[in-house]
Amino acid sequence: MPTNGPTGHSETLTLGVNNSGDTILYASSGKYLYLTTNNGDTWIEIDGYNGSLGSGFTNAEILTLAAKDSFLYAGTNGEGIFLSINNDTNWVSVNNGLTNLLIWDIAISDSFLFAATWGGVFRSTNNGAEWVAINNGLTDTTTSALVISSNGYLFAGVWQTGGIFRSTDNGNNWMRFGYPPIYSVYDLTFSNKNLFVSTNYGVFRSNDDGENWIDINNGLPNSQVTCLAVNDTIVYAGTSNDGVYYCLNGFDWINGNTGEPLFVHALVNSKTYLFAGVAGVPGPGVWRRPLSEMVTSVENRYKQGLGDFYLEQNYPNPFNPYTTISFNLSKNSFVTLRVFDCLGQLMTTLVSEELPAGNYSQQWNGDNFSSGLYFYTLQAGSFSETKKMLYLK
C-alpha cells in the first residue's frame, strides 16, 4: 500500500535512529528529502532546499542515503555529499578530497565512512570532513555499490567492466572476484554469511566472501534487479518493472506483489514493514507491506519444499570449468560434499560442516583438474548419494 508521501518518485530510502532511540525512515524524491517516524503515515521535509544553492543543500538528484546515530548523509549526482546532524535543515557540503562528485553509494563502519563514486572508492575517518582515494587494485573505478560484511571485509561492485572487488584492510588494497564476470552492479547485501548482488541480469550469490558465484534467478522475472534488502535470512529484491520478490537465502523467489507491479528503486525494512521507493504508475512515492505477511508465506513455502534429503544433478553438465551442485537437508546434519575421480581418489572436499535444514548450492572450479568423468558424494547423517559429472576443457 502507498504511504502518505513523499510526492514524486522515491530514488533512495534508509533507516536511522535518533538520540531517543526512535526509528526514522528517510526518503528522497529528486533533490528533496523527507523523514517519517510513524511508518509513513506523515512525512516532514528536512532538506532546507529553497530554490537556491545558497540554502546549503543541493540542486542535484539524490542517489544514496546513509544514517548513523545523529548523522545523515546524502550522496548526489554531481554535487558530492551533504551532511545533516540531528535532522537539522542546515546542511553542509563534505567534499574535501573527493575528486569525483557523482556518489552512487555510502557505507558506514564503526571507524570509517566509505563512498562509491564514478571515480573510485573514497574513505573518511572524520565523518566526511576529509576524504582519501582508496583504489589500489581497482581495475575499474565506476564503483556503484558498497557493503561491509560482519567480519569487516569491504566489497565494491563496479558498473562498466563488471566484477566484485574485496578489501580486507578497509580499502587499502583490492582484489577482484567473480566468475563469470558480474556486470552492471546495482546493490550488494549480506544475509546469513551469504553475499548477494543485484544486476541488470538478475541476482547472484556467494557463500565464500565473493570468491565464487552462482546465479539464483529461479522464479524471478526477466527484469533488472535494482535493489536488495534483508530480514534475517529472507532476501527481498526490487525490480525495474515487476515489483518485489523475496526468498529464503536465494532459492525459489516468490512474487511479493499484491497489486499492480511497481518500478522499485529502493528497499529497506524496519521491524514491522518492508518499504519500497517506487516510480511511475500506479503511483510514485514510498509503499509498504507488513513483513509478517511475507515471512509467513516464505516459511510455509520453505517447509513444504523440504521433504527428504536429496542431491541434485550438477549444472551445467558437462561443464568448463565451473559447475554448481545443489542439495536439500530435511533436518540439521553434519554434511560432507566430496569430489572423486573415476578411480575413486578424493580430489577435493567442498563442504564439511554442521548445517541447518534447508536448500544449499556449492560451486566447484575444475580449472586445476584434468578433463574427464568425476563423481560427487553427499553424506548427511545416515543419508548418502553419489552422482556423475563430466568436465570438458
Q: Cβ distance 220 to 229 under 8 Å?
A: no
C-alpha cell, 51? 530554490
The domain made up of 13-304 is a member of CATH 2.130.10.10:
yes
**Tally of residues, the chain:** 393
Q: What is the pLDDT of residue 309?
A: 79
Question: Domain residue spans in the chain?
Answer: 13-304, 307-391
Q: What is the pLDDT of residue 297?
A: 56
pLDDT in tens, 162-177: 889 999 999 999 999 7
Residue 232 clears pLDDT 60, i.e. is over it = yes
Residue with cell 564503483: 143
C-alpha cell, 6? 513523499
For the whole model, what pTM was predicted?
A: 0.78
pLDDT in tens, 255-272: 888 777 788 999 998 888
C-alpha cell, 166? 574485496
pLDDT in tens, 140-159: 999 999 999 988 999 999 99
pLDDT in tens, 176-185: 976 566 888 9
| CATH code of the domain made up of 307-391 | 2.60.40.1930
Q: Cβ distance 165 to 158 under 8 Å?
A: yes
Q: Write the CB contacts of 357 (distance below 8 Å, at least 6 apart in sequence).
A: 306, 329, 330, 331, 332
Q: What is the pLDDT of residue 163?
A: 86
Nearest CA among 237, 176, 183 for reference residue 210: 176
Cα-Cα end-to-end distance for the chain:
52
Distance CA 156, CA 116 (A): 8
Q: How many CB atoms lie within 10 A of CB 32?
A: 17
More confident residue, 132 or 219: 132
Residue 305 clears pLDDT 60, i.e. is over it = no
Annotate 115-150 with b (16+ C-beta within 10 A) or e (fewer). Answer: bbbbbbbbbbeeebeebebbbeebebbbbbbbbbbe
